[in-house]
Structure 1
């Protein structure tokens, strides 16, 4: 690490939470002669890059900022540098700097500094509302606020897998959600297809999510995780409310996928350009009956397999009495092969919006998981 990088890192980590970008801008001016620094964060719909300051939002897909965001690489255009801001696969936005120094070392250092900024923003987000409020193009509903606060992130990259998810309608989602965790040996993924309206749906999904986390963190097998969450929901609602969930556990050394389908969203596999619905042993949704026993299934993934989990809000979206799941979904999934999971998810949601000619009315969740194969030399968890 160069002296300039080390100094910028200290500036970012030592700055008050509300002055992180301002202090970084002052340091970039002193070190590199950069007079214009701005942070753009991607909004909840993955449709706009919103400035922290007073500049205009960037929505056009052909803009250099979007190129930097989509490809996760620095872009220099017309004397302005655009650097991806994120951490561990979670894309937060881009950093704009101008005038861009005409120096390869400076470009590399600024790229590293943008990544440091991404880590610091992740560290302080729970302590301030500044960075959350400025990544919204409109007000979130209360239910949507609850759902987004529960998410572990929107994307994750490890040597053996890449993962991304999205909730829609982003500013008004109610009951659909997802959750994941990995420990370097296994990846756990839950995709929830909630029922009900407004805050009641969000509360039901919250109860299920925290019950599943509690069981997972206690080291329980996947079927027992489902059973514990089922009991928690039934105890609260006595069968009056229930929730569908697909639980998955991926062994990162072998590619063995264990699944529990509790009235779940749909699991679709893309292998060698071919799309196939994964057959699941459908079981009762969580909370429907008292004391339900759940069964696990196991599948073997091949290196390069891509899995999509989509909720009924995707499958059943209708235009001119034609369901998206019947007419367009498979065709579009085949086209996502070259895309990274977050880009595939965003493109699928965009295609869905175009299909219904506007924002979605019903909740929809899309999660994309790429199995890249075992990585024996990847080292500890990243």
Structure 2
């Protein structure tokens, strides 16, 4: 908005060209049907001289960026995240500009609370700071609108689904929070494998004031039974967390919920964590999971071993809460046993030592946690010969101080 003296001496409240564009989109965004979000965005981009606009959404396997279909949006095949300009924009959360015959192809991340929904791409004759500012603001508005509309449409889900998905996986994806969150003091990123057939694994997190709550679970079994148990467990975790009880009480509440709903031999392994983002004080309870790993200066320095309690559903005693003080920049890696116990027929298990080696190679200062988590999961899967007979989940947390 242009604000300055007006002819009558009052402030100038006339709209700038940029405000007309953004304001027009914002004024109607709440009433846009989901399938009109893309065309409305394409119309705005056309008005600033943009050509071949695309909204590229991350597929559930986190391997490609898929063009959203719609009037005014350019068609095209899915773009691989690895080795492409759009993928580089996605992984770094920074704009990428590529000279082309027609001008400049600009890629801008679609960011919503640090979660990477995808990439906005458009070709312009030339790019200056005014165009960059407008595209940055427009992409932020588009990301928020897509996130809001996603709650009552299948359009974006269908676009992101790169292959057939099991019913159990559909249930699990409906449970999940955004795969990534980046805030000034803390960042979180999670990955589920196999993305289209996951059943018993899940994770959850919530940032309430200065406190970040996290949980990683692995329900026994496969298919719908495991997905149902995971649903009850995550629901119980959220209910207990929202009543502001301590970690040990959260475990007991989850334990009772599973024990009351399922047979005595059914159980869920779990980790519940609580991070004070103001001080770096991390507390956790381990109920049958591999110990989390502390990454400092981008190398694994120790396993966070702690007293463990029985898996959820077995009626364990009130657990002991463990605690560690983090340094700014420290990262915590939580994972389920499927990540390290997988092995090819007749071969040894993948093991924690190999996991540590890969973390030390891939975790670097210039890489955001969502890029590290994604690449780590995919690299580990390739190292296992693409074999995944069990769910494999990892959750990476960075305390920024």
* TM-score bucket of the superposed structures, by smaller chain: over 0.9
User: Which protein has the larger Cα radius of gyration, Structure 1 or Structure 2?
Assistant: 2
Give the C-alpha shift of residue 238 in structure 1: 4.2
| Equivalent residue number for residue 64 of structure 2 | 48
Distance in 2, Cα, partners of 1:266 & 1:316:
14
**Structure 1, unaligned runs of 5 or more:** 374-382
Give the C-alpha shift of residue 188 in structure 1: 0.3
Structure 2 residue 397 is the aligned partner of structure 1 residue 369: yes
| Equivalent residue number for residue 311 of structure 2 | 285
Distance in 2, Cα, partners of 1:194 & 1:265:
14
| Equivalent residue number for residue 373 of structure 2 | 345
Distance in 2, Cα, partners of 1:343 & 1:137:
20
Contact 1:273 1:334 in 2 (8 A): yes
Distance in 1, Cα, partners of 2:210 & 2:352:
37
Give the C-alpha shift of residue 317 in structure 1: 1.9
Aligned with 1:284: secondary structure?
coil
Aligned with 1:18: secondary structure?
helix
Cα deviation 1:33-57 (Å, max 9, x = unaligned): 2232111100111101111124200
Aligned positions of 1:223-234 closer than 5 A? 223-234=248-259
Give the C-alpha shift of residue 177 in structure 1: 0.7
Deviates more, 1:173-182 or 1:92-101: 92-101
The verdict on how the C-alpha distance between 1:274 and 1:29 changes in structure 2, with shifts beyond 3 A counting, is: closer
| Equivalent residue number for residue 259 of structure 1 | 284
The RMSD of aligned alpha carbons is 1.6
- Alignment partner for residue 204 of structure 1, among 198, 219, 229? 229
Give the C-alpha shift of residue 24 in structure 1: 1.4
| Equivalent residue number for residue 28 of structure 1 | 45
Aligned positions of 1:1-382 closer than 5 A? 2-3=18-19, 4-30=21-47, 32-53=48-69, 54-59=75-80, 61-77=82-98, 78=100, 79-275=104-300, 276-289=302-315, 292-319=317-344, 321-335=347-361, 336-338=363-365, 339-373=367-401
The verdict on how the C-alpha distance between 1:184 and 1:60 changes in structure 2, with shifts beyond 3 A counting, is: closer
Deviates more, 1:360-369 or 1:6-15: 6-15
Contact 1:72 1:84 in 2 (8 A): yes
Distance in 2, Cα, partners of 1:207 & 1:60:
34
**Structure 2, unaligned runs of 5 or more:** 2-17, 70-74
Give the C-alpha shift of residue 264 in structure 1: 2.2
The verdict on how the C-alpha distance between 1:71 and 1:326 changes in structure 2, with shifts beyond 3 A counting, is: closer
Contact 2:59 2:162 in 1 (8 A): yes
Contact 1:244 1:265 in 2 (8 A): no
| Equivalent residue number for residue 376 of structure 1 | none
Aligned with 2:236: secondary structure?
helix
Contact 2:290 2:335 in 1 (8 A): yes
Distance in 2, Cα, partners of 1:13 & 1:103:
30
Give the C-alpha shift of residue 103 in structure 1: 2.7
Distance in 1, Cα, partners of 2:56 & 2:298:
35
Cα deviation 1:53-93 (Å, max 9, x = unaligned): 24200116221101111111111212211111120111011
Higher relative contact order (CA 8 A, sep 6+): 1
